[in-house]
Structure 1
């Protein structure tokens, strides 16, 4: 990413932690329970969400650290395939449609960011290098709005506490990833 190395590493640490937590939730969900021991309301959608959020968190961390050193084709495949799968799933299954569309937008934003990194001279992010400032602005508005919405939901946790296994921690991870994506898009 283009920016101070400390910011890149802090973003990587934050998103890697969120991604690792989602992997933990995915592992616990395969045992039939969520990380807090409660059964999720929609088990397949919950597992799908945990997998997507783990991919996004760990992918953002890797992209923040490695930048343009990884070929764009690798990033495009890694995030382009989930984009297509989430779009197809949203078209064919009405349950969780908005949730799947959100994950499709996230994977699309990651693909776009990776392609912008590789298209920029010297591997730096610049919207003009890709020629899509409108897309960058639209994604910034989406993830900025999503982060505000996720943050407001986080404030409504029971008793305002964030205890491992409650609904607060997964919401905090979603907020982290929304802010992380917003920060990555700001560097374009």
Structure 2
């Protein structure tokens, strides 16, 4: 699902690195059960995003590859939404996985009809511009990126002892790492939606 070769491979590298980091966080012994489940979901999302961004996926094997990805993301979306329990990041996972289903369906359609322009050859826009669903998803993920980026911005430095205590209390993985993983995946979503 790559509009250009460079963009596609860059998304593959970033998504793969994000998936690897999330899965490493999930397997760390000091990670709690809830955080481990979240990290596994984010790792699966990153791996699926890397597959979807890979140049050539929408070619000859695109229909079955896209259908398989749609099924994977539908399962993640369903699980995330059913077990959200009021947790914002689980609801976000559901929306993100649903957006990936949407893009995978567009890829499967484009691969089945032989269209090859844009991300995955999505040729359903014609001259009317992107559909409302694409624009709504783009607005959501752009807002998520901005809000999350502000949350990750460093706070003004406090007393050195307090800063050292906060850093020491985070264990092997800093608590911001999960937020950074979600930010990385959301940036990938923005890039993929813009290229639709």
TM-score, normalised to structure 1, is 0.80
Structure 2, unpaired ranges of 5+: 158-166
The 8 Å contact of residues 125 and 187 in structure 1, kept in 2 or not, is answered as no
Residue 126 of structure 1 and its aligned partner are, at CA, apart by: 3.9
CA distance in 2, matches of 1:127, 1:153: 37
Q: 1:78 aligns with which of 72, 82, 87?
A: 72
Question: Residue 111 of structure 1 aligns with which residue?
Answer: 101
Residue 138 of structure 1 and its aligned partner are, at CA, apart by: 0.7
TM-score, normalised to structure 2, is 0.77
Question: Residue 38 of structure 1 aligns with which residue?
Answer: none
Residue 24 of structure 1 and its aligned partner are, at CA, apart by: 0.1
Question: Residue 178 of structure 2 aligns with which residue?
Answer: 170
Residue 125 of structure 1 and its aligned partner are, at CA, apart by: 2.7
CA distance in 1, matches of 2:18, 2:155: 18
The 8 Å contact of residues 67 and 108 in structure 2, kept in 1 or not, is answered as no
Count of matched residue pairs: 171
More helix by share: 1
Q: What is the CA deviation profile of residues 11-61 of structure 1, one whole-angstrom value per residue up to 9, with x for unaligned ones?
A: 110111011000000111xx3x13xxxxxxxx3331221011101111111
Residue 157 of structure 1 and its aligned partner are, at CA, apart by: 5.8
CA distance in 2, matches of 1:126, 1:44: 43
CA distance in 1, matches of 2:134, 2:34: 29
CA distance in 1, matches of 2:102, 2:27: 29
CA distance in 1, matches of 2:174, 2:155: 9
Structure 1, unpaired ranges of 5+: 35-42
Question: Residue 21 of structure 2 aligns with which residue?
Answer: 21
For the pair shown, the structure with the greater C-alpha radius of gyration is 2
CA distance in 2, matches of 1:14, 1:148: 19
Structure 2 SS opposite 1:181: helix
Residue 86 of structure 1 and its aligned partner are, at CA, apart by: 1.3
CA RMSD of aligned residues (A): 2.6
Residue 136 of structure 1 and its aligned partner are, at CA, apart by: 0.6
Q: 1:149 aligns with which of 137, 147, 150?
A: 147
The 8 Å contact of residues 11 and 180 in structure 1, kept in 2 or not, is answered as yes
